[in-house]
Amino acid sequence: MDFLRPATWAEALAAKAADPTAVPIQGGTDVMVEINFDVRRPPALLDLTAIGELGDWELTADGLLRVGAGVPYARIITELGDRLPGLAQASRTVGSPQIRNRGTVGGNLGAASPAGDAHPPLLACDAVIEAESAARGTRMIPATGFYLGVKRNALEPDELIRAVHLRPATGPQYFSKVGTRNAMVIAVCSFALALHPGERRLGAAVGSAAPTPLRARAAEEFAAREFDWSGATALDPALLARFGELAAEAASPIDDVRGTAAYRRHAIAVLARRTLTWAWNDYRGKAAA
Amino acid sequence: MTQTARGTGSDLGVGAGVPRPDGLLKVTGEFAYSSDLYLADMLWGATLRSPHPSAWIRAVDVGPALAMPGVHAVLTHEDVPGERFYGLEHKDQPVLAIDQVRYQGEPVAIVAADHPETARRAADAIVVTYEPREAVTDPRRALFDPGCPKVGPEGNLVRHQPVRVGTVPPTAEVVVTGEYEVGMQDQAFLGPESGLAVPAEDGGVELFVATQWLHVDQDQIAPCLGLPKDKVRLALAGVGGAFGAREDLSMQVHACMLALRTGRPVKFVYGREESFFGHVHRHPARMRYEHGATREGRLVYVKAEIVLDGGAYRSSSPAVVGNAASLGVGPYEVDNIHIDAYGAYTNNPPCGAMRGFGAVQACYAYESQMDRLAEACGLDPVEIRVRNAVSQGSRMATGQVIDSPAPLAGMLRELAAMPLPGSSCSPDLRALPGGVAQTTHGEGVRRGVGYGVGIKNICFSEGFDDYSTARVRVELLGDEPHILVHTAAAEVGQGLVTVQAQIARTELAELADLGAARVTVAPADTSVGSAGSSSASRQSYVTGGAVRAACVAVRERLAALRAEHPGLGPAELLRAHGPVEETREYRHRPTHPMDPLTGQGDSHVQLALCVHRAVVDVDVDLGLVKVVELAAVQDVGKILNPPALEGQIHGGSAQGLGLALMEEIQVRDGRVLNPSFTDYLIPTILDMPPMRLSILENPDPAAPYGLRGAGEPPTLSSTPAIAAAVRAASGLALPRVPIRPQDIALAPAAPAR
């Protein structure tokens, strides 16, 4: 196996163009496990850890946060937790402290596992993935169009993930994940919610309950249509219940060793109701203040 | 928040909190485990395993593997130099599969190559032609359906042990029945099976290996290699946990075969996934219980049928069945008992020893029954247990009289009187079910409290000649007195090395008090007699007893020498006389087989009690559980080393928590679905709560220092205590462990209470 270690982003893009089968590696928390288990044997690894700018984040001119593909979960929690609370909450549930020190959102996107913890908040927050290739330059891919299938994403063979672009939170955000133990667990299912009160809508996304992470579109449309976005009133229990049902209907879960399809559907409805309650209460509290 | 009655003793003797010598090395990553063994010219072994739970082997072609560069040997059953079968109690397991495979993961061929990767690829290159056949995976069917295919040599019954006491009346004032199920738990040790076999100049082999019992390995390996035992020499390598999973052989014979064939050292290290196929597991159990009692909650009778799935080979299943039967009603006085305990052969993964050994499964069922009985009688769960509790002088189900202190009622009262933890209105997510995954901010969370009681036999039972050997040598080294303790007892992480040194210091205090005596515990190997197994909570008792006996013998020799040379201190005596060395075997009192028809007999050496109270918060909507606190009272007779003992109780309780809430090897159609630590979950520090302990020291006069084995009892009682607490919180029956989230969240009936 070749081990490529470019020193600059341009070199990395060139290397990927020269050998599109090279697998990018950042924290190694996913790629190394797969190699260890002999799940795959890439002909080459493309180590991106020497490229300093991948570990940076910045506020762009148009007010978006551009988070480099190499920013580890631990730094998202400590440095961006106030502006990206949903993603930070999801980051907090990833693995162990050691894994959070190494693992990255870029790696989560590259692996595109349906159980990846970062995906639901990216979807709920309308994140856009910045991909780049030596031949065609930069391409912006909305998260909603990024996940194509189980461990398949929209990247071209010669493309690398440069960064993720996210708007700083415009309202309350929550992430919830069900696992069979209280830490260090892969999602049985998960749910992310981001309120955008200024736009009188919310983003809602489901993880680990379908071949890909996905948005709960019907639930989002229901919320935009039916909720009292003035923030003057509490949500009627019937609205909450319906929102939970619509979120669960978005999923197409399976039975596997981590849980049953029926349980996943049930749990997503519970998580959707709860996160919405928390977010709505936060919003009303702020609206009243 | 640990409270402990401290033992007494000198600073470094019995009862002192002497730190373990391997502790710092382990937490800093410096400890050399068996997987770290290395010789410059060694080869790497790999194993080809069956993908089928049941199949005929029609052909094996090793040619493609042999043709690979770097491959030094590829061996099959035809290359086994001696006997082709081995086993702990019965030689029914082939070293390498012969004409058939009986479980997924059964070894079929082995490879030695100059690189581990090459060895694995060569193993994959072996072509085996299988003819899959029907796998027997339902233990009840295996036992009771005459048309079921036979997995075992003489059928599918490993052992049937009845217990018959009194006459079971057709009914009682209060009757509760229940069917219970225990899933397949894994020992989940962190150090995978590994070892290094080195060919010796005398035609023999030296094996450095992580095991629980060097001599029983030697007894099984030597015949398979066709060698006399003195040509198969074993030394203990660093053991990364055991819990029963290292009682059976794994890579031992394979490594020796390859070393003898190639003339090179051969090392095996199983990967994590392979490890799940490389050792036996805890027997899954299906149990039917019926308890009859008076309205006042006094037990009148217990009827039980216990079916234990032993999987494809015998391993220690017969003894596990014996424990389930003899301990099947728990530590309660019952006049009328009708138990049938069965062990079955199936094509599921082989099951054998795991901490608690047959007592765990029964304990979950009888404690679940006691709670149901309490409810039916309108009694508190503690009260019903107190009313039926055994005490010294009580008869067990086997008719054996408990002849040392067994203050169960008092232990329960003490436990119930311990303060309860406050309610968790903490904003810290880590205190809530689901933890930082933020599944609740308190919604759906209900508190529950439950109790569990367990009784475990200590040491080997049913007439087994269970002994240990210790050699103790006192000499001057560098003109200073030095004590050398040598046994073959396996330090598997429990702290036995420390305890051996403590015993030597206490028994040879005369020398230690010189202030200069150093104590060395020699590495365990087969150049000294057998110490028996590091299992059945027996090593402090039996090897402790042997070390004490050898020390006493040395002390007496020194006293005799002193009488001959009055006026000389120990150092002068040793200088004049030279080293003093004594070897002693220690046997606990004899035990007797259970009557095959009635189960009666004094089958156990010693019985140990532990009681747990669990406090849990359950998110009843999602089925997630946070164990808030575990409290335990355990009678250990005598505390040898307080922190080591507390560690055993904490660890045993954690393993019981795992069984209650998450640990299960999921098997479908004979195939393991989750052979990884990604999907076989063991408790983390956020799952295992702080413990409140009360450790009692009511001595057993028959045991060294009055001690009572301590490692297993907490593993029994924590599981039913947690299950009871989850039931109390949810109002659900929950007749199966581990309790899965969907068992709570999708329970068919709405909470009844």
CB contact under 8 A, A180 and B430: no
Q: Burial of B23 by CB count in 10 Å (0-12 exposed, 13-18 middle, 19+ buried)?
A: middle
Confidence tier at A272 by pLDDT (50, 70, 90)? very high
**What pLDDT sits at residue B515?**
53
Q: How many CB pairs under 8 A join A and B?
A: 100
B35-133+196-239+246-276 and B285-461+596-745 agree in CATH topology: no
Half-sphere exposure of A267 (CA within 13 A, CB side): 37
Q: What are phi and psi of B367, to 5 degrees?
A: -70, -35
Say if residue B8's pLDDT is above 70. Answer: no
CB contact under 8 A, B684 and A183: yes
Cα distance between residue B713 and residue B716, in whole Å:
5
Cα distance between residue B628 and residue B630, in whole Å:
7
Using a CB-CB cut-off of 8 Å, the residues of chain A touching B443 are 274, 277
Dig out the tokens for B420 from the structure.
């309860």
Say if residue B256's pLDDT is above 70. Answer: yes
CB nearest to A183's CB, from B273, B673, B686:
B686
Question: Are residues B446 and B617 in contact, defined by beta-carbon separation less than 8 angstroms?
Answer: yes
Confidence tier at B379 by pLDDT (50, 70, 90)? very high
* CATH 1.20.1250.20 describes domain A2-166: no
CB contact under 8 A, B626 and A182: yes
Using a CB-CB cut-off of 8 Å, the residues of chain A touching B624 are 178, 182
**What pLDDT sits at residue B454?**
98
Q: Which helix (H) or strand (E) holds B617?
A: strand B606-619
The mean per-residue pLDDT over the stretch B383-399 comes to: 98
- CATH superfamily of domain region A173-288: CO dehydrogenase flavoprotein, C-terminal domain (3.30.390.50)
Say if residue A120's pLDDT is above 80. Answer: yes
User: Which of A38, A89, A92, A181 to mutate to test binding with chain B, by most B CBs within 10 Å of its CB?
Assistant: A181
> What residues in chain A have their Cβ under 8 A from chain B's Cβ atoms?
36-38, 89, 92-93, 174-186, 188, 190, 257-260, 262-263, 266-267, 270-271, 274, 277-278
Say if residue B327's pLDDT is above 80. Answer: yes
Say if residue B36's pLDDT is above 60. Answer: yes
Question: Are residues B574 and B481 in contact, defined by beta-carbon separation less than 8 angstroms?
Answer: yes
Say if residue B644's pLDDT is above 60. Answer: yes
Q: Would strands B299-309 and B285-293 be described as parallel, antiparallel, or unpaired?
A: antiparallel
Taking CA–CA distances from B658, the nearest residue in chain A reads A181
CB contact under 8 A, B444 and A271: no
The mean per-residue pLDDT over the stretch B667-691 comes to: 96
CA B558 to chain CA mean position, Å: 39
CB nearest to A93's CB, from B436, B626, B678:
B436
Using a CB-CB cut-off of 8 Å, the residues of chain A touching B120 are 38
Dig out the tokens for B589 from the structure.
């009192």
Question: Are residues B459 and B707 in contact, defined by beta-carbon separation less than 8 angstroms?
Answer: no
Closest residue by Cα to residue B123 from B84, B78, B71, B79: B71
> Count of CB atoms within 10 A of residue B749's CB?
8
Residue spans of beta strands (DSSP E) within B257-349: 266-269, 285-293, 299-309, 336-344
CB contact under 8 A, A89 and B430: no
CB contact under 8 A, B443 and A274: yes
CB contact under 8 A, A174 and B622: no
**What pLDDT sits at residue B7?**
33
The mean per-residue pLDDT over the stretch B567-571 comes to: 82
Percent of chain A with pLDDT over 90: 94
CB nearest to A181's CB, from B443, B681, B745:
B681
Q: Which CATH entry fits the domain spanning B35-133+196-239+246-276: 3.90.1170.50, 1.20.1440.230, 3.30.70.100, 3.30.460.10? A: 3.90.1170.50
Query: Residues B436, A94, A171, CA angle at the centre, nearest 5°?
Result: 65
DSSP B461-529: -TT---EEEEEEEEEEETTEEEEEEE--B--SSS-HHHHHHHHHHHHTHHHHTTS--EEEEPPPBTTS-
Say if residue B750's pLDDT is above 90. Answer: no
CB contact under 8 A, B437 and A258: no
pLDDT tens digits for A7-34? 999 999 999 999 999 999 999 999 999 9
Using a CB-CB cut-off of 8 Å, the residues of chain B touching A186 are 678-679
Report chain A's C-alpha Rg in angstroms: 19
Say if residue B376's pLDDT is above 60. Answer: yes
Instruction: DSSP letter for B421, please.
Output: P
Distances from the Cα of B620 to the Cα of A131, A275, B750, angstroms: 43, 17, 11
| Shortest CA gap B73–chain A (Å) | 23
Amino acid at B400: Q
Q: Sketch the domain layout of chain B as residue ranges.
A: 3-31+467-587, 35-133+196-239+246-276, 285-461+596-745
Say what the ipTM of the complex is.
0.96
Q: What are phi and psi of B194, to 5 degrees?
A: -165, 155
Exposure string over B89-110, b if 16+ CB within 10 A, otherwise e: ebbbbbbbbeebbbbbbbbbbb
The strand pairing partners of B127, in sequence order, are B61
CB contact under 8 A, A183 and B746: no
The mean per-residue pLDDT over the stretch B380-404 comes to: 98
CB contact under 8 A, A257 and B746: no
More confident: B572 or B31: B31
The answer for residues whose C-beta is within 8 angstroms of residue B417's C-beta and 6 or more apart is none
Cα distance between residue B582 and residue B286, in whole Å:
49
Confidence tier at B3 by pLDDT (50, 70, 90)? very low
Confidence tier at B516 by pLDDT (50, 70, 90)? low
The answer for residues whose C-beta is within 8 angstroms of residue A187's C-beta and 6 or more apart is A93, A115, A117, A177, A178, A179, A207, A208
Dig out the tokens for B610 from the structure.
């532990």
> What residues in chain B have their Cβ under 8 A from chain A's Cβ atoms?
120, 271, 273, 430, 433-441, 443-444, 621-624, 626, 661-662, 666, 673-674, 676, 678-679, 681, 683-687, 740-742, 745-746
Q: In what order do the strands lie in the sheet with B580-587?
A: B518-521, B480-486, B467-477, B580-587
**What pLDDT sits at residue A287?**
78
CB contact under 8 A, A262 and B661: no
Amino acid at B430: R
Q: Would strands A65-68 and A57-59 be described as parallel, antiparallel, or unpaired?
A: antiparallel
pLDDT tens digits for B425-439? 678 999 999 999 999
The mean per-residue pLDDT over the stretch B80-94 comes to: 95
Peptide bond into B738 cis (omega under 30): yes
The answer for residues whose C-beta is within 8 angstroms of residue A238's C-beta and 6 or more apart is none
Chain position carrying tokens 């009862």: B15
Q: Would strands B205-209 and B232-236 be described as parallel, antiparallel, or unpaired?
A: parallel
Say if residue B753's pLDDT is above 60. Answer: no
Closest residue by Cα to residue B541 from B699, B709, B406: B709
The answer for residues whose C-beta is within 8 angstroms of residue B23's C-beta and 6 or more apart is none
**What pLDDT sits at residue B749?**
62
Percent of chain B with pLDDT over 70: 97
Instruction: DSSP letter for B190, please.
Output: S
Top CATH class, B3-31+467-587: alpha beta
Q: What are phi and psi of B691, to 5 degrees?
A: -115, 145
**What pLDDT sits at residue B2?**
31
Q: Sketch the domain layout of chain A as residue ranges.
A: 2-166, 173-288
CB contact under 8 A, B681 and A180: yes
Taking CA–CA distances from A175, the nearest residue in chain B reads B438
Using a CB-CB cut-off of 8 Å, the residues of chain A touching B435 are 181-183
Largest CA distance in chain B: 84
Say if residue B355's pLDDT is above 70. Answer: yes
CB contact under 8 A, B438 and A174: yes
Q: Would strands A2-4 and A44-47 be described as parallel, antiparallel, or unpaired?
A: parallel
Percent of chain B with pLDDT over 90: 92
Cα distance between residue B75 and residue B123, in whole Å:
10
**What pLDDT sits at residue B20?**
94
The mean per-residue pLDDT over the stretch B167-172 comes to: 87
DSSP B529-553: -----S-TT-HHHHHHHHHHHHHHH
Chain position carrying tokens 């159980």: A115
Give me chain B's average pLDDT, please: 95
Q: Which CATH entry fits the domain spanning B285-461+596-745: 3.40.50.1000, 3.40.718.10, 3.30.365.10, 3.40.50.720? A: 3.30.365.10
SS3 of A196, please?
strand
Dig out the tokens for A208 from the structure.
């680990």
The answer for residues whose C-beta is within 8 angstroms of residue B214's C-beta and 6 or more apart is B234, B235, B236, B488, B490, B524, B525, B526, B530, B531
Give me chain A's average pLDDT, please: 96
Instruction: DSSP letter for B731, please.
Output: -
Using a CB-CB cut-off of 8 Å, the residues of chain A touching B745 are 263, 266-267, 270
pLDDT tens digits for B475-505? 999 888 899 999 999 999 999 999 999 999 9
**What pLDDT sits at residue B10?**
58
Instruction: DSSP letter for A198, please.
Output: G
Taking CA–CA distances from A96, the nearest residue in chain B reads B684
CB contact under 8 A, A274 and B624: no
CB contact under 8 A, B436 and A267: no
